[in-house]
A = this chain, B = another copy of it.
């Protein structure tokens, strides 16, 4: 399919651009891409072409200071953030290249997206730059290699498949491929539109908790699986595309498992119940976590709920722009230790009390953990959490989604929670 590159680098790719004005948006790039709206419908909530273009230039500008002559970003169907930062395209489910995609951004010259053959037409109609199949990856990288002696930065190194990485390396020849955190750091700071979408996803996750609460109020027996289903139905009813990840509901002894999947276990009065439920909405997710006691609960279970809430509240109260991730981590870690649960909490033992989130439930930056000197900046979005699991008693993970407010915000606060459901739950 012939591609036409216009003077501002925007990609036409065979779609007639008639310059029709995009409703309410007056930037040149957005009107130039009004054909996207004709093809895909229009929603004011979606990230517009101009915002994708800004992101491309922001990342491009960060390459030279990072001593890179280009970026190669890997994303798959489920960990698509490195791709979705640049385009509405996200790969599809499968065991082959259908699930893979690479975004290539050289310091100078047009970016390019590489997808499987089956995804090509779709990707071309929602991207603002040229799209090729992964079969063409080698020739593009060889051309880059021939003209460049600098290093190429790789984003997504932790989960790129070995098979694909081998192909990339073979094509690069002598060009060095190095892991880079440039993209992770830039996408950690969210735009107003992104925050609005994450906020919406967060409220959908809240609706899931409300649905669980209301279901349990009937006093009838319910299994973990049923409650997870009810939670998911509530999120879809509110307009979620899907869950952000597979909903977790773990009751009684199973609430002591840090991560697990729901089973046919029936909730018992007196149980502590761990839940970790999130929604996906228009490319953005909420990664929520709440635990609750069910029926008349023992003091030790109530204390666990309270300690986790107290720890997260401490983080919410003290976090602010200008603080390092390590400092914020220490606030939550100290609270858990002070409550006496150091032995029962991975966060208290230094495993981190939060992570970046946005287009995927888990994103690399900002990681709220010991040693991370990254400074919190206005617009960063991440989770704050406390997990306490006591063998023989039970556990929970209390997790909030927060954004960093501008310094001197009128509220007087440094962080705003995007989800609103209460943390101390005794049902």
A410 contacts chain B at the CB level, 8 A cutoff: no
Q: Chain B residues with Cβ under 8 A from A117's Cβ? A: 258
Is A417 interfacial (CB 8 A cutoff)?
Answer: no
Q: Are B78 and A93 in contact (CB under 8 A)?
A: yes
Can you list, as one digit per residue, whether each of A167-194 has a CB less than 8 Å from chain B (1) or not (0)?
A: 0000000000000000000000000000
Known: A77-B78, A121-B258, A162-B165. A237 touches B246 (CB 8 A): no
* A157 partner residues in chain B, CB cutoff 8 A: 162-163
**Interface residue A50 (Cβ < 8 Å from any Cβ of B):** no
Cβ-neighbour of A95 out of B43, B225, B364 (below 8 A): B364
Distance of A228 Cα from B90 Cα, bound (Å): 16
- A residues within 8 Å of B by Cβ? 39-43, 46, 77-79, 90, 92-96, 98-99, 116-119, 121-122, 125-126, 157-166, 223-225, 228-229, 232-233, 236-237, 239, 241-246, 248, 253-254, 256-261, 263-266, 346, 360-364
Give the distance in Å from the alpha carbon of A258 to the alpha carbon of B92 in the complex: 11
> Hey, which chain B residues are within 8 Å of A158, CB to CB?
95-96, 161, 163
A241 and B265: CB pair below 8 A? Answer: no
Instruction: Note all chain B residues with C-beta closer than 8 A to A363.
Output: 95
Q: CA A361 – CA B93 in complex, angstroms?
A: 8
Q: Are A242 and B242 in contact (CB under 8 A)?
A: yes
Can you report 9 A-B residue pairs in the complex whose CB atoms are below 8 A from each other?
Answer: A41-B223, A90-B261, A93-B362, A96-B362, A116-B259, A119-B260, A157-B162, A157-B163, A233-B236
Contacts beyond the supplied A95-B362, A119-B259, A122-B257: 16 A-B pairs with Cβ under 8 Å: A39-B253, A39-B263, A39-B265, A41-B223, A41-B263, A41-B266, A46-B264, A78-B78, A92-B245, A92-B259, A95-B159, A96-B158, A116-B259, A117-B258, A125-B257, A233-B233
**Given A158-B161, A236-B233, A94:B39 Cβ within 8 A:** no
Q: Which of B236, B254, B360 contacts A236 (CB 8 A)?
A: B236
